[in-house]
Amino acid sequence: MALACAACAPVMHQARRAPDAPPSARELESQQRVANCPVNAGLFVPGVLQMCRGRKTEGTVLASLGVAELGAAVAGGAANGFSSSAAGVPLIALGDLWTLSVIDVALEEQRAARLSYVPQESLAELARAPFSFEVLSRSSVWAGIAGSLAAGILVSAIVDHGIDTSNAGKRPVIFGREMNSAVGYPLAAAVGVGLFEHVAVAEEMAFRGALQSSWARSLDETRAWAYASLVFGAAHGSNVLFLDRGQRLTYLAVGLPFITLLGGYLGLAYRWNDYSLAPSVAIHFWYDFLIEAFAFVTDPKNSPLALSWGMPF
């Protein structure tokens, strides 16, 4: 969900709040918005409830992206086949857009109810988080990006049985078509930024903002972190369907545990930063973007953008 890049203003959190603590400004805003527009059927259309609740800019961006991504999937499928990445990538983005729109509504309901462990950021702030100096300068963020990227390259080499660089520097194949490098590489980067913005915001809102925080309220912070990390890893087991048969066992034995550990670190970053989602969104975005950029640069003819239904971690 690519919105303008600007430094995120710090958001005051009251994660471990006392029952008699006064409501925050964000909680008061959420209470008013929820009272003015309760949950209705508009929940199933990205942006509708956000607009109903007075968040016109965010709602308009969500609705516009939904229409654009659905149109791109139909057009890409008609031109290249509906099993191609030309249709698959917009559909993945659309699914994440719907997810983050629904979870955003749920988190606003929780803020209105003044529940503990609820992230306070708006969607716009989360979209800016990967490009915010204030967020990226935190040691838990920049160290997490560097460490996860190095580990991810190693794990990818194990799953793929090495790193094939024979096509490095050649003209890229994107959506089934070979392109001039001057066009193909910037296009791949733009697609990656847009897609992984969706993925990072949606998955962090779901696994950390919704699941981990919910379990922190009903159980305790440590078990909440552990359970959310395990669910994060298990949810990525479906990636095995998009791998060659020869890679599947290695992915389940090596790749899936690594993704679970990565989810564990994202959950720790969320917890260490007083249940602010901005750090985990930034780490998640840059890990996904850089690991896929590495794969694209080393083999631009066989990247997920070239094949049928590639899927990021």
Mean pLDDT by groups of 10 residues along the chain of 313 residues: 37 58 90 95 93 96 97 91 86 96 97 95 97 98 97 89 86 88 93 95 98 97 98 91 82 92 98 97 97 92 61 42
Q: Where are the domains of the chain?
A: 27-115, 126-313
Sequence-ordered list of residues with C-beta below 8 angstroms from that of 292, at least 6 positions apart, any chain: 192, 196, 303, 304, 312
Rounded Cα distance between 223 and 221, Å, is 6
Among 285, 13, 297, CA closest to 149: 285
Rounded Cα distance between 38 and 53, Å, is 9
Residue 10 has what pLDDT?
A: 42
Residue 14 has what pLDDT?
A: 54
Residue 194 has what pLDDT?
A: 95
Is the model's pTM score more than 0.85? yes
Rounded Cα distance between 202 and 284, Å, is 11
3-state helix, strand, coil in the chain (%, to 5): 70, 0, 30
Rounded Cα distance between 135 and 121, Å, is 13
Rounded Cα distance between 212 and 44, Å, is 23
Residue 54 has what pLDDT?
A: 95
Contact present, 291 and 199 (Cβ < 8 Å): no
